A and B are shown apart, each in its own frame.
Chain A
Amino acid sequence: MAEIIIEKGGMLTTIQDCGRHGYQRYGMPVSGAMDLPALQTANTLVGNSSGAAALEATLTGPEILFSGSCESASSDNFLQTLIDNFHPVTRCTIIAITGADMQPCINGRPIEMYRPVKVNSGDRLTFTGLKNGCRTYIAFAGGLDVPMVMGSRSTYLRAKIGGLEGRPLKAGDVIPLGSFTNLAGNNSSPKITSIIPDYQTKRPIRIIPGPELQRLDFEGIRTFLTTEYTVSANSDRMGLRLDGQPIHIKGAEGHDIISAGVSFGTIQLPGNGLPIILMSDRQTTGGYARIANILTEELPRVAQLKPGDKIRFVEYSGEKHPKSL
């Protein structure tokens, strides 16, 4: 059986999949990967279904030792079996790394991101350091075999559920890998550059006006759409807090609303006038004005912002633009 042994946890490494859906009416957050397309791409590259459980590493990567052998190693192919018998390595799994570039290495030698990499028992995955972005995804052929909790393997830290005992990974953790049959992972396959997102672009993030945007006056809207905000150190998987020019709210209605639903990418405006972008571990409902929502396809770029990074907003004016009715 193949497994991974965590030798260093990194700053915040958790097990995530596409999230826990269907329980929001009970106040259960969705959780799941912050950068969903990055998780899905990593899974696809190793031959998993796109929503298999993988690792999300934050700012600093973990150190992982591979152990055991994948079940598909006993090949029907006679010559391959012969080679395997003479070759003193045991194939452990196939991995793919996507999202933020933390400069991954196997046994100290750099490996490419966005392509499947075969790893053997005894190999060690390390990360030299963050070059760009904030969150890196590591998928393993067969997926991380941790128990399903309410339809998902995603870690939700606040309720201490999902993933591995509902907590971040730490040194000494051992996680079994699921079995797999698809040997799609291939070191020699060409790197598919079209799936690599451009996290670096300085384009403003496109937003759709929210139900309480009309609480802002002209000046407030201008502040919102012209200020370059800075991601606060006080940000986490629940939400990104922004520092910069506060946005004023006009009249008596104020910042508070009757508590109501929020979604991935909702921008709330609390009393201090500084926007909060709600992310994967967001509460299901909130009591602050919902001034806007970020377009789904922009969320990966937001998920890859780290404290100190800059962000600007622009109103989305595309064809699909939904308008209040």
Chain B
Amino acid sequence: MLKYFPSGDSAIIVKASDQISVEINNTIRRLLTRVEMESIPGITDFIPSYNELMICFNPSLTGFHKLVDTIRSLEPSIADIHLPPSTLKEVPVLYKGDTLEEIGPDLEDVARFNKLSVDEVIQIHSSATYLVYMLGFTPGFCYLGGMDSRIAMPRKESPRLKIPEGSVGIADKQTGIYPIESPGGWQLIGQTPLKLFNPNRQPEFLFQIGDTLRFKPISENEYLKLKQEQ
């Protein structure tokens, strides 16, 4: 059952559960699709996450109780929403460079930590299919589910001040890609030449909630070529 919480007087939190699961995330996506179909006046933005949908609104145009009533009336029809089949998108990754030494600085640490070879880490990381549960943290950052726990490793004790855009990292049982240069504590195992976020491109963001991703190991030459094309 859905629960409704105010986030101040300018947003509503609709919560589906206290768990992370594909089914709950699909409920959130169905709810988002259903609410968007109504074009309800006063709504300014949506923030879907693992188990919640935040609906932002202009408090001078609508209010919490009015919106809760409207969304409650939509609840019975949420299950009927047909989600489009998930698009599988390939993310080319250079895990270790021939001449580019700055690529994947923590790849060997991740291998050593898990008593695996570097090639095994690459093989495990690039053979799984990952679901984009949500985006957040920085523009275009995907929270991915589905990483094999054999390559899990805790964050670095002291975070790096600058992680270059496109870095692929591991933090505990999560993996992710840094869309813009930012500070961070993830273990960096590779680099994608793709620009996940480019405000001057349509679409601005390569991935969205519900997509599935697969990492594809590439050579340094392919990496340099793709980087030029971006």
A interface residues with partner B (beta carbon < 8 Å)? 21-30, 149-150, 158-161, 208, 210-211, 258-266, 283-286, 290, 293-296, 320, 322-325
Contact = CB atoms under 8 A, between A and B. Distances in A.
Nearest to B7: A263
A29 B47 CA distance: 11
A138 B119 CA distance: 57
A285 B32 CA distance: 16
A148 B209 CA distance: 26
Contact of B8 (A24, A28, A160, A294): A294
Contact of B143 (A21, A26, A259): A259
Interface in B158-210: 179-180, 182, 197, 199-200, 204-205, 208-209
Given A26-B204, A211-B5, A320-B63, A261 B138 contact: no
A25 B182 contact: no
Interface stretch (B98-106, B110-118, B129-137, B147-155): B129-137
A322 B55 CA distance: 14
B229 interface: no
B59 interface: yes
Nearest to B205: A26
Given A150-B204, A285-B49, A296-B8, 13 more contacts: A23-B205, A30-B45, A158-B138, A208-B9, A211-B5, A258-B51, A259-B136, A259-B137, A261-B53, A294-B8, A296-B10, A324-B5, A324-B6
Contact of A210 (B5, B9, B205): B5
Contacts of A293: 6-9, 11
A23 B208 CA distance: 11
A26 B139 contact: yes
Nearest to B165: A159
Contact of A258 (B7, B20, B182): B20
B140 interface: yes
11 contacts: A21-B45, A27-B135, A27-B136, A28-B139, A149-B200, A158-B138, A258-B49, A259-B136, A261-B47, A261-B48, A261-B49
A160 B199 CA distance: 10
A174 B9 CA distance: 39
Contacts of B134: 259, 285
Interface in B57-107: 59, 63-65, 68
Contacts of B11: 261, 263, 293
B141 to A, nearest CB: 5
A283 B85 CA distance: 29
A30 B139 CA distance: 11
Interface in B15-55: 15, 18, 20, 32, 44-54
B68 A161 contact: no
A163 to B, nearest CB: 12
B156 interface: no
Nearest to A162: B199
B218 interface: no
Contact of B7 (A24, A26, A259, A266): A266
A259 B8 contact: no
A324 B6 CA distance: 6
A86 B141 CA distance: 60
B45 A24 contact: yes
A27 B137 contact: yes
Nearest to A266: B7
B8 A260 contact: no
B44 A21 contact: yes
A293 B18 CA distance: 21
B9 A295 contact: yes
B122 to A, nearest CB: 27
Contacts of B20: 258
Contacts of B227: none
B46 A24 contact: yes
Nearest to A22: B45
A24 B10 CA distance: 15
Given A24-B46, A260-B51, A261-B49, A211 B15 contact: yes
A285 B138 CA distance: 9
Given A24-B46, A261-B13, A284-B136, A266 B63 contact: no
B83 to A, nearest CB: 15
A263 B47 CA distance: 10
Nearest to B135: A27
A27 B138 contact: yes
A258 B6 contact: no
A158 B180 contact: yes
- Of B46, B63, B135, B200, chain A has the most CB atoms within 10 Å of the CB of B135
